[in-house]
Amino acid sequence: MAAAGQKANLESLRKELASRGVDAFCIPRADEYLGEYIPAHNERLRWLTDFTGSAGMAVVTAKAAAIFTDGRYTVQVRRQVDGEQYQYRRLIEEPPLSWLTVELDAGSKVLIDPRMCTLDWYQQARDVLGGAGIELVLSIDNPIDRCWKSRPEAMVAEALLLEESFTGESSLSKRKRLGKHIADLGADAALIFAPDSVSWLLNVRGRDVPRLPVLLSCAVLEATGNLHLLVDKRRVPQGLHDHTGDGVSIVDEEDASRLLGAWAGKTVLADPATANAWTQLSLGEGGAKLIACEDPVLLPKACKNSVEVAGAQEAHRRDAVAEIRFLAWLDAEISEGRYHDEALVSDRLGAFRAEGALFHELSFDTISASASNGAMCHYNHQDNTPAPLLPDSLYLVDSGGQYSDGTTDITRTVAIGVPTQEMRELFTLVLKGHIALDRARFPSGTTGTHLDALARQFLWQTGRDYDHGTGHGVGAFLSVHEGPQRIGKAWNATPLAPGMIVSNEPGYYRDGDFGIRCENLCVVREADTSSQETPMLEFDALTLVPFDKRLIEVALLSRHEIDWIDTYHARVVQEIMGRLENPSDRDWLAAATTSLA
């Protein structure tokens, strides 16, 4: 949509707001499930602004409008959103609520859809705006839906039943185990709001949201282990009850208010930081006593059992075959002078993945970024005219797959032609940070925040940094971005624990020039230390794909770092070489993994 389209949509929205007698409206990049991935019919922020990032918010008043994004989208937002219509603001440093208190007078009314925000955010908005004499108005009749005349129909497909050979534990066992935890906390039930939590609990996966294999639903889990599933019944597959075992009742989405209002006098756990405000307000209005508590599914889901870890390892081996075949093909094309565009090479990588066993779909839209586009951390070539790969430049490709036995996510930065000395030095600094984090050993109780500086230290020493987290959790055939663990500067209180899968992805980005990122997934495991005095944990790499040696400046590496690279590449050869059928792919891998020593 051109700037004219953004202007027309903004004018349409302002007319709708005026008809309701409100002075402003907040439009987050969210739907009622508050997930990172949103089906096309719920992309309200995108309809209004053309912004395609995974996080952000627009705020519209009668006379002004602003779009708020974090550091990942500083460049992207200016390319996609018309600066004549919207002010560009930093989401963290210049919060939308603070902006509203400056833009609006006391007595003004601000509308929000309580399905599109957490209870924490709603309460903060109520307090901040109320302190400025501004009234907060709630409505689940979203104004965007009234204006969006060409809104797509919702995708509705039956869920998949995931066998215990992939999950390692039955749904009934999970529900009984967590039900006991709920009882131990003195509660009668818990709101299981996130679709990936519900999907994990029931051992099902969905097909309604591209890249995110979850059943769009929420649930109430009783201390007995019985579960009330709130879902569009058209998504319920045949055999669900046999699959889940006794104790699962199905409530249609249209009866949500009835279910949430049926807990009068009962104590219900709910997570105000992750569940939407509407569900919790509805529970409270129905007479339930709410206790703020983290989603009880989060931690058990994050700590993969031995079956899930083995599945992740096998999925990554198959994924490595696809990635290596792609890199071999890409090098061959460049050597012949064929500089394809970002879309073609992305499609080629996707085709290699699709040939793998147990593959369902990509785990996110591939970031296929040539040269300066690599400076946008979450660039998507589908949002613009795909750029060609350029001679003597860098190509950043961040991609992954959803397999029945695991979820993958890998970034490799590739030399296209001859890299400059500066590119090599900067890549090596990033790789040194990756190695430092991978080699870390740490005691129980250590969080990702404690470890984050290991990955940044070499960039920091030269006055550089990157404006994103170093690592995120990853699900088991679920979301590629999973909590509660995280590695980053911002405080994360969840200690890293055995079975957790996290990414290790330091980077460096120069606007208008190039981007660099080195990403593997790894699993936390117990370390075998020599002293055994203090039990330690460590990371074990799941991703098994070579780093581009053409970008490594060996003179900047220590002896330990050279040994790490050689050992890692030797492991890649050992585990993947025998899976490559094409002699040219084997030759490429052999050349890509020769020793640096």
Q: How far apart are CA 375 and CA 389, in angstroms?
A: 14
Residue 177 has a pLDDT of 98
Q: Are 297 and 200 in contact (CB under 8 A)?
A: yes
Sign of the torsion angle spanned by Cα atoms 492, 495, 496, 501: negative
Q: Which two tokens stand for residue 265?
A: 């006098």
Residue type, 271: D
- Torsion-angle region of 287 (φ positive above 0: left; ψ -120 to 50: alpha; else: beta): left
pLDDT (tens digit, 9 = 90+) per residue, 537-557?
999 999 999 999 999 999 999
Residue 49 has a pLDDT of 96
Convert 278-342 into a string of H (helix), E (strand) and C (coil).
Answer: HHHHHHHHCCCEEEECCCCCHHHHHCCCHHHHHHHHHHHHHHHHHHHHHHHHHHHHHHCCCCCEH
pLDDT (tens digit, 9 = 90+) per residue, 448-466?
999 999 999 999 999 999 9
Residue 281 has a pLDDT of 97
Residue 179 has a pLDDT of 98
Q: How far apart are CA 210 and CA 216, in angstroms?
A: 12
Element (H, E) at 135: strand 135-138
Residue with tokens 């990032």: 53
Instruction: Count CB neighbours of 48 within 10 A.
Output: 27
Which residue from 351, 376, 360, 399 is spatially nearest to 209, judged by alpha carbons?
360
Q: How far apart are CA 471 and CA 383, in angstroms?
A: 25
Residue 382 has a pLDDT of 87
Q: Which two tokens stand for residue 112?
A: 């929000």
Which residues of the chain carry a pLDDT beneath 70?
Answer: 1-2
Residue 10 has a pLDDT of 96
Residue 54 has a pLDDT of 86
